Structure 1
Amino acid sequence: MKHKMNIELSNETELALPAFINARIEEVVSAVLEQEGFDVDGEVSVLFTDNVGIQALNAEYRQKDTPTDVLSFPQYDDLYALSDMPVFLYLGDIVISLEQASQQAESFGHSLEREIFYLVVHSVLHLLGCDHMEETDKRIMREKEKSALKHLGIFK
């Protein structure tokens, strides 16, 4: 039985996103979980904000007083290390700056939707316990991101 991932989506920006974004985000989250071997029902919250909103969170939680594209707030330190997997898993929170994502999409030459989906993949990997502080970890995480995006058919 395939797991069901509920997405609590909030948008505090003036930018209206296409209606398919929520369903597609659910698919993206589920694909990353499946790829990583987590077959559980669960929930993740996704908040879309602007650069001012994400800068405030970045300053408060990471002591970096600058905007960023995405922040991840995992419920668990490292899901890979859990010996007993919960039946229902609250993964945590994802905060995406639509302003920053839009700028990055333009500079990379792809759609805003593609950038959002990449940021969700990246953030879910963080929620699971992956990081990219060391070069080896960065390579592993990038490969996982590429694999998930390819599986989902998300290219440009």
Structure 2
Amino acid sequence: MRVATDLYDETNTLSEDQLLAIQELVHVASDMENISEGTELSITFVDNERIKEINREYRDKDAVTDVISFALNEQVSDEVEIVGGEIPNLLGDIIISIPRATEQAKSYNHSFEREIGFLVVHGILHLLGYDHMTEEEEKQMFSRQKEILAAYGLER
């Protein structure tokens, strides 16, 4: 197990089996992305109102979205790197809207589990530095998402 994942379901809608499946998907993604042992990650599942608040507060966008990622181990200029054996690698936080995922699963005509899996992997890849601002970046990121989801068994 490479990544210690804390899951928080603020909506109280995900079953134990669904949470376990998310944990397993994180392990598949972390293995495929060679994430180092001892890395920590949190995933919080919220309602549309909460994700809209977060989106407004941190991204200046007053709208509901499906997933937001906050990388915690990105080093910015003029920041001193802290090095030490006891310091965990905090990859970051992923926030996912359960109602938005439900809507999108219906819209894309696939299962809720597939949509949640997609959003989890999408968030992890953002935390690892993947992006989709350009056509080339989008092609690379979405190709990798598809590979990870296929390896786990969540194909469209």
Q: Do these two structures clear the TM 0.5 threshold for a shared fold by scoring above it?
A: yes
Secondary structure of 1:149's aligned partner: helix
- What are the equivalent positions in structure 2 for 1:136-151 lying under 5 Å apart? 136-151=136-151
Distance 1:31 1:46 in 2: 16
What residue ranges of structure 1 are gaps of 5+ in the alignment? none
Unaligned runs of 5+ in 2: 76-80
Q: Is the 8 A contact 1:7 1:22 kept in 2?
A: no
Match of 2:3 among 2, 5, 15: 5
Give CA deviations for 1:59-97 in whole Å, capped at 9, x if unaligned. 11111100000000111227xxx9x9x884221111000
Q: CA deviation at 1:35?
A: 1.5
> How far is the alpha carbon of 1:36 from its aligned partner?
1.8
Deviation at 1:22, TM superposition (A): 2.1
Whole-Å separation in 2 of the counterparts to 1:56 and 1:16: 20
Identity %: 39
Distance of 1:152 and 1:12 partners within structure 2: 25
How far is the alpha carbon of 1:7 from its aligned partner? 1.8
Normalising to structure 2: TM-score of the pair?
Answer: 0.86
- Who is 2:17 aligned against? 20
SS of the counterpart of 2:138? helix
Q: Which amino acid aligns with 2:50?
A: G
CA distance in 1, matches of 2:34, 2:7: 24
Q: Distance in 1 between matches of 2:89 and 2:22?
A: 17
CA distance in 2, matches of 1:143, 1:34: 17
RMSD value over aligned CA atoms?
2.0
The letter of the residue matching 2:41 is: V
Match of 1:126 in 2: 126
Residue 37 (1) aligns with residue 53 (2): no
Question: How far, CA to CA, are the matches of 2:129 and 2:29 in structure 1?
Answer: 13
Query: In the alignment, is the contact (CA less than 8 A) between 1:7 and 1:25 conserved in 2?
Result: no
Runs of 4+ in structure 1 deviating by more than 3 angstroms, as ranges, are none
Q: Deviations over 1:26-84 (max 9, x none)?
A: 22122222222223222211111111100000011111100000000111227xxx9x9
Contact 1:69 1:100 in 2 (8 A): yes
TM-score (normalizing by structure 1): 0.86
Tell me, in whole angstroms, the C-alpha distance in 2 between the residues paired with 1:67 and 1:22.
23
**Distance in 2 between the 1:77 and 1:44 partners?**
14
Distance 1:4 1:136 in 2: 29
Counterpart-to-counterpart distance in 1, 2:48 and 2:130: 25
